[in-house]
Structure 1
Amino acid sequence: MKYKSEVFAAIHDTAQGLHQAGVISDTEMKRFDKSCLTKAEPLTGEQIRAIREHEDLTQAAFAIHLNVGKNQVSDWERGIKKPSGAALKLLTLVKNKGIEAIM
């Protein structure tokens, strides 16, 4: 996870502990997530291809790591579809930290 600052990281860490203890509701935790975490910016097909090639992976191997189909990776790279949600977060993590971050 990437936080807006170290202060937001500390706040979020505390909130997660309180959430796990049942003191903070799921709704409140989502509010903390939105306020503390940076948003995953949309990626272009060229950026996704560059991330994959930087990791020296085929589309099929990259798809396995991201838990999506090979055709999905192909569609992203050609700009037919755009990743969102968990897939976008994983792509952003690989972009920033490398494929080892999700293995």
Structure 2
Amino acid sequence: MQNKYHSEIAAAVHEDMRDMFKLGVVDKQTMRTFDELCLVPVQPMTAEEIRTLREREGLSQPVLAWYLNVSKNLISDWERGVRKPGGAALKLLNLVKTKGVQAISL
């Protein structure tokens, strides 16, 4: 998956810092700071967006839950707005939104 940057300059700086991190010149804490400054964060999704995404991909709640490795009840909670996805699940949902479910299928 390709990173999204705030600008071309941010991309260049981040790539240079990543190379320095790999060489051991930059520590993990500094690299995290550059990640926060340069990378565009994952976009939150509304309950309606999640339901629309699932329907666009032709998936039932249990099947989407299987792809995301979460419970069917959690998918239902997201779609009803009871809970909001976060972390890895939100990242995977955004990946499905941009590239389709095949991007996360085995």
Q: Is 1:62 matched up with 2:64?
A: yes
C-alpha distance in 1 between matches for 2:10 and 2:104: 23
Q: Give the CA RMSD over aligned residues.
A: 1.6
**Is residue 30 of structure 2 the alignment partner of residue 28 of structure 1?**
yes
TM-score of the pair, normalised by structure 1: 0.85
Note the residue ranges of structure 2 that are not aligned, 5 or more in a row: none
Could you say what secondary structure the match of 1:43 adopts?
coil
What is residue 11 of structure 1 aligned with on the other side? 13
Which residue, out of 29, 32, 45, partners 2:47?
A: 45
Residues 14-53 of structure 1: CA distance to partner in whole angstroms, max 9, x if unpaired? Answer: 3223223322211111111111111222211110011111
Flag the 1:14–1:68 CA change in 2: closer, same or farther, 3 A: farther
* Structure 1: distance between partners of 2:66 and 2:46: 20
Deviates more, 1:75-84 or 1:86-95: 86-95
Q: Distance in 2 between matches of 1:42 and 1:73?
A: 15
Deviations for 1:36-86, whole angstroms, at most 9, x for unmatched residues?
Answer: 111222211110011111111111111122121111111100111001122
CA drift of 1:92 comes to 1.3
Q: Aligned pair in 2 of structure 1 residues 48, 4: CA closer, same or farther (>3 Å)? A: same
TM-score by length of 2: 0.83
Identity of aligned residues (%): 50
**Larger Rg, first or second structure (1 or 2):** 2
